Homo-oligomer: A and B are copies of this chain.
Amino acid sequence: MFVLVNLKAYPCDGPAVARAVREVSEESGVRMAVAPQAAQLETIHDTGAETWAQHVSPVEQGSHTGSTLAEAVADAGAVGTLINHSERRLRLADIDGALSAADRADLETVVCANNPAQVGAAAALAPDAVAVEPPELIGGDVSVSTADPGVVKDAVDAATAVDEDVSVFCGAGVSTGSDVAAAGELGAEGVLLASGVAKADDPEAVLWDLVSEI
């Protein structure tokens, strides 16, 4: 199980969250990472936590002002990147281009998608993983395991039918240890979290709860 904490553009104490992630990951043995804004990658990487980017641009080195170059992200310490997050949707051709960019820079990749059909489409582009983010679960307090367990199972089936080597992550609806356990039983190999950890009064306590039933 891989727990990936997306800091989005929250007004949170990123380094404090990252230190909690590093500590709980080391002590629990569960893989965890933090995905900050591009401008904060170095600061987060300096905490020793595994660091991911939130996005990379579908471009090669060159005249691309204001882009997020995969090589720059890797130089700043990222070892992986989200692509096509629901808050940063990309054109199909650009998901393909961003995956190529990530490959060039040796970044691990998780492509986000809305539903099982889109999960299958994303899997056809051969990322390391696809995260299913049902729109009705995004940003809410509803648990995927009680509200919509079928979507994770269907996403796993859709991805596997296209490419058995692509993992499926649960991209929404996870906030507790039993959610993580349920996601794992449904076939997910990772979970994405955001405000539940990033805005918590005690991120370390939340992280310990998340890994409590793995």
User: Which residues of chain A (30-74) have a CB below 8 Å from chain B?
Assistant: 35-43, 53-55, 57, 59-69, 71-73
- For this chain, the copies found in one complex come to 4
The reply to whether the CB of A92 lies closer than 8 angstroms to some CB of chain B is yes
CB distance from A105 to the nearest CB of B (A): 11
CB distance from A162 to the nearest CB of B (A): 6
User: Which residues of chain A (84-142) have a CB below 8 Å from chain B?
Assistant: 84-96, 113-115, 117-118, 120-126, 139
A139 and B63 form a contact (CB under 8 A): yes
Output the residue of A53, A75, A93, A125 with the most chain B CB within 10 A.
A93
CB distance from A112 to the nearest CB of B (A): 9
Partner of A121, one of B35, B40, B122, B194: B122
Kindly specify which of A5-13, A21-29, A174-182, A200-208 makes contact with the partner chain: A5-13
A121-B125, A124-B124 known; A89-B87 Cβ under 8 A: no
Interface size on A, residues (CB 8 A): 67
CA distance A12 to B62 in the complex (A): 10
CA distance A85 to B10 in the complex (A): 26
Residues of B within 8 A of A126 (CB): 117
Output the residue of A10, A64, A75, A194 with the most chain B CB within 10 A.
A64
A61 and B162 form a contact (CB under 8 A): no
A residues near B, CB below 8 A?
6, 8-11, 35-43, 53-55, 57, 59-69, 71-73, 75-76, 78, 82, 84-96, 113-115, 117-118, 120-126, 139, 158, 161-162, 194-195
Q: A40-B76, A92-B122 are in contact. List 16 more A-B contacts (CB 8 A).
A: A6-B65, A8-B65, A9-B59, A9-B64, A37-B69, A38-B38, A40-B75, A63-B194, A65-B82, A65-B85, A66-B88, A67-B88, A89-B94, A96-B118, A96-B121, A117-B126
User: Can you identify 22 A-B contacts, CB atoms within 8 angstroms?
Assistant: A8-B65, A9-B64, A10-B61, A37-B68, A37-B69, A39-B53, A39-B72, A42-B42, A42-B43, A43-B76, A55-B65, A63-B87, A63-B194, A84-B92, A89-B94, A90-B92, A91-B91, A93-B114, A95-B121, A120-B124, A124-B124, A124-B162
